[in-house]
Structure 1
Amino acid sequence: MSDRVINFGAGPSALPEEVLTEACKGLLNFQNTGIGIAEISHRSADFDRYIREVEENMRILLRLPQDYKVLFAQGGGTAQFSAVVLNMLARYRSRGGTAEKPAMDYIVTGSWSEKAMKEAKRLGLGDVNVIVNTQTIADDGKKTFNHIPDRDSYKNKFSQDPALIYYCVNETVDGVEFNDDLESPTSFPFDSLPDGAPLVADYSSSFMSRPIPFIDKHAIIYAGAQKNIGPAGLTIIIVRDEWANVSDNSIPLCLSYKALVDSRSLYNTPPVLSIYITGLVLRRMLEIGAENGRPRKKALEYYGERTVKKASKVNAALKEGEARGIFKGKVLEGSGSKMNVVFDIVGGEDKLKEFVSGAEQRGMKGLKGHRSVGGVRVSLYNAVTEDQVDKLIQYMNQFM
């Protein structure tokens, strides 16, 4: 497929060519059923077996405890902004919470956690407590999120009996990310949480790129598939049993975790094609992890190491460009994302257009930053290879 470009876009993201080739076959004939995956009944025995395999492979890769459910839904991460609030408030009431408007704690580190917080406020069903908001004013007068707060920022700020505590691990737009090193001052403050606090995490941009630390401290983890493991249209929700079985007539059924649990994610027609391609990606991840000497359950460590290598290469070129006055980083040291590296081109919009145009002429697309912040954004999801990153580095050097 020599005519394919390198996709550095933030989502929908690159997918492995081997998976796309296999998916083409499945569009015509899904697992020798004689019918294509886009045509098959989601209630057929063949699809039911497949979706159970997708769930099991996800459990293996994440080493997911048995008291968590894996659910497949539509609506993207954005629908979960509302679903999280509705389901967690129902759980708060079911366990005897008495506050008329329960506290909901939000850690705001970028555009997506800010949107989630604003949706919780818009619903007006609880008191939204912003634990920390890292938005600052940049040199150009624009508001920006350029860092992850120091762990000391959270001390004595969490509510005593919150209905939920919400954070976004990696902010795709702003290029900031909680540090994987739990000793780092910019890691997530797991040790500062109230005992038994219902923790909710948006993992969309880093899901399946590396292991999830302290997965058993979370009540809910959700992720859009269109970053590391599949096409747009599928949202994965991982929810602990005690938060997944709450009946409440105030929750629309399409947003109810219990409805998804009871129907095994088949309350209505799920995004069948997206689930199929995601399943192919997960199979490949397990195979590649094994090929590189990892037990199946430790394949994510392999992908995590690749991610670090790719991000390190881009950041090294970025620092060289900063030293030469060509590039300008947008994120403070220690807060940068390994999935979405963001920076500006010195010289304004004309120079930015020159950089993006030159990249496209060399077969590299998706490098323009989010429309709300501009600049350059290099997304390094699982399907982006080290060789492709090397081509970008070569171009960055040529541009300098």
Structure 2
Amino acid sequence: MTERAINFGAGPSALPDSVLEEAARGLVNFQGTGIGIAEISHRSKEFTAFVSNLESLIRTQLDVPPTHKILFTQGGGTGQFSAVVLNMLARHRLLHPNLTDEERFMDYVVTGSWSKKAAAEARRLGGGKVNIVAESSHSIPSHDSFKFSSDPALIYYCENETVDGVQFSHEPSSPASFPFHLLPQNTLLPLVADYSSSFMSRKIPRLADHAIIFAGAQKNIGPSGLTIIIVREDCLVDVDAAAKLGAVPVPITMAYKTLADSSSLYNTPSTLPMYMAGLVLERSQELGGVQYFEELNKRKADKVYSVLKEGEAKGIFHGKVKEGSGSWMNITFGVLGEGAEAKFLAGAESRGMKALKGHRSVGGIRVSLYNAITEEQTDQLVAYMREFITENAS
């Protein structure tokens, strides 16, 4: 393999070299079948066994309880903005058939670009009223600002905001944690979490209390084209029965029950992304699973935030997120001074470090530290940032 750049891109993101090399072999010959993974039937015994193992790898490493199904589909996290609304409104309609749309609420916590888009899609689809539970910019809202509805169809939050660099803490005592204690107790919560950019990077707090957890694969798991959904079984509802009661009809391939009943093989799935995700998760399990990556990712993030503070003290960098709300996966900051950002990016590029430019909607710098980014690669970035501080401090 020729020399590769260090890819700090936010997604599609870096993948381990060993996985890419093995995937290249699988493109030619999948598990000794003589047929490449992109060519083989999704109903072959080899591929269906692979899908079963892929589910097992996720269930084992995340401790997913038997009350939840693991599903695989397409459409990315954005596709789930729609699917979540349609499936959860169908469930709520079956539970409360006599409520009007004006009496049916969908709760959204808005902490950045993606949760804002999710709420906008819920408004567009209709079928209920969107209630913004809490909203903030560049930080996790304070717990006393959360105002949940009494019996909503769904409660949505985005665990990690890729664009903005804001993430809920997974420490229960942190003021930046998700306020589970404010939710109704001793009930099946309609809690929905978008974990697209942090899935498998660390443990999921109170996973069993979630109705749905979804993640696009193209951050920590594999290439784009695969979406992973963890769904509690009471959310696998008969969407056609709900439609007869007035719910919005759900497209057949977006109905969670369809995916569950067919073991995610109702139609042809994303075979190559699923194969690569399986290779990534097998490697993860060999290294020690989510616990290994949680410890590694904390070290990486701590190093970058530490040098960012050094740069802030010297007037070189400007962190964009309130301390305590910063993401482990996507660290965002600005470079102060005319032309300084372009200079920083050019210097990084010359050192083989690419894709550090912030999202087009917010600008600045964004360092994405997904699982495939090694501690050594992180150290190279930290050394460059420190060098940049020294050279540009007045």
Same-fold status (TM-score > 0.5): yes
| Structure 1 SS opposite 2:323 | coil
1:113 aligns with 2:115: yes
**1:245, CA displacement in angstroms?**
3.1
**1:194, CA displacement in angstroms?**
2.0
| Gaps in structure 1 of 5+ consecutive residues | 135-144, 290-298
1:377 aligns with 2:366: yes
**1:247, CA displacement in angstroms?**
2.7
1:228 aligns with 2:228: no
Instruction: Please tell me whether the aligned partners of residues 87 and 237 of structure 2 are also in contact (alpha carbons under 8 angstroms).
Output: no
| Structure 1 SS opposite 2:211 | strand
The C-alpha deviation readout for 1:267-326, integer Å capped at 9, x for no partner, is 11111000000000010001011xxxxxxxxx2111101110000000011000001111
The aligned amino acid for 1:158 is: F
Aligned match of 2:126: 124
Instruction: Please tell me whether the aligned partners of residues 87 and 246 of structure 1 are also in contact (alpha carbons under 8 angstroms).
Output: no
**1:97, CA displacement in angstroms?**
4.5
| Structure 1 SS opposite 2:131 | strand
The aligned amino acid for 2:154 is: L
The C-alpha deviation readout for 1:138-165, integer Å capped at 9, x for no partner, is xxxxxxx2110111222xx211110000
1:239 aligns with 2:231: yes
| Structure 1 SS opposite 2:333 | strand
Aligned match of 1:362: 351
| Gaps in structure 2 of 5+ consecutive residues | 244-248, 390-394
The C-alpha deviation readout for 1:51-87, integer Å capped at 9, x for no partner, is 1100011100011100111000100000100100000
Whole-angstrom distance in 1 between the partners of 2:140 and 2:223: 29
Instruction: Please tell me whether the aligned partners of residues 74 and 269 of structure 2 are also in contact (alpha carbons under 8 angstroms).
Output: yes
Q: TM-score, normalised by structure 1?
A: 0.93
**1:2, CA displacement in angstroms?**
4.9
Whole-angstrom distance in 1 between the partners of 2:141 and 2:204: 20
Whole-angstrom distance in 2 between the partners of 1:286 and 1:228: 14
Aligned match of 1:86: 86
Instruction: Please tell me whether the aligned partners of residues 205 and 227 of structure 1 are also in contact (alpha carbons under 8 angstroms).
Output: yes
Instruction: Please tell me whether the aligned partners of residues 200 and 220 of structure 1 are also in contact (alpha carbons under 8 angstroms).
Output: yes
Whole-angstrom distance in 2 between the partners of 1:180 and 1:97: 36
Whole-angstrom distance in 2 between the partners of 1:132 and 1:247: 30
The aligned amino acid for 2:251 is: P
Whole-angstrom distance in 1 between the partners of 2:280 and 2:89: 35
Whole-angstrom distance in 1 between the partners of 2:233 and 2:261: 12
Which segments of structure 1 move beyond 3 Å, counting only runs of 4 or more? none
Aligned match of 1:152: 144
The aligned amino acid for 2:200 is: M
Aligned match of 1:166: 156
Aligned match of 2:30: 30
1:397 aligns with 2:386: yes
Instruction: Please tell me whether the aligned partners of residues 164 and 199 of structure 1 are also in contact (alpha carbons under 8 angstroms).
Output: yes
The aligned amino acid for 1:112 is: W
Whole-angstrom distance in 2 between the partners of 1:94 and 1:367: 47
Instruction: Please tell me whether the aligned partners of residues 9 and 367 of structure 2 are also in contact (alpha carbons under 8 angstroms).
Output: yes
| Structure 2 SS opposite 1:280 | helix
From 191, 201, 206, the equivalent of 2:181 is: 191
Whole-angstrom distance in 1 between the partners of 2:294 and 2:97: 40
1:279 aligns with 2:278: yes
Aligned match of 1:52: 52
Aligned pairs (5 A) from 1:207-218: 207-218=199-210
Whole-angstrom distance in 1 between the partners of 2:2 and 2:47: 33
| Structure 1 SS opposite 2:42 | coil
Paired residue total? 378
Whole-angstrom distance in 1 between the partners of 2:26 and 2:319: 43
Instruction: Please tell me whether the aligned partners of residues 71 and 259 of structure 2 are also in contact (alpha carbons under 8 angstroms).
Output: yes
The aligned amino acid for 1:39 is: E
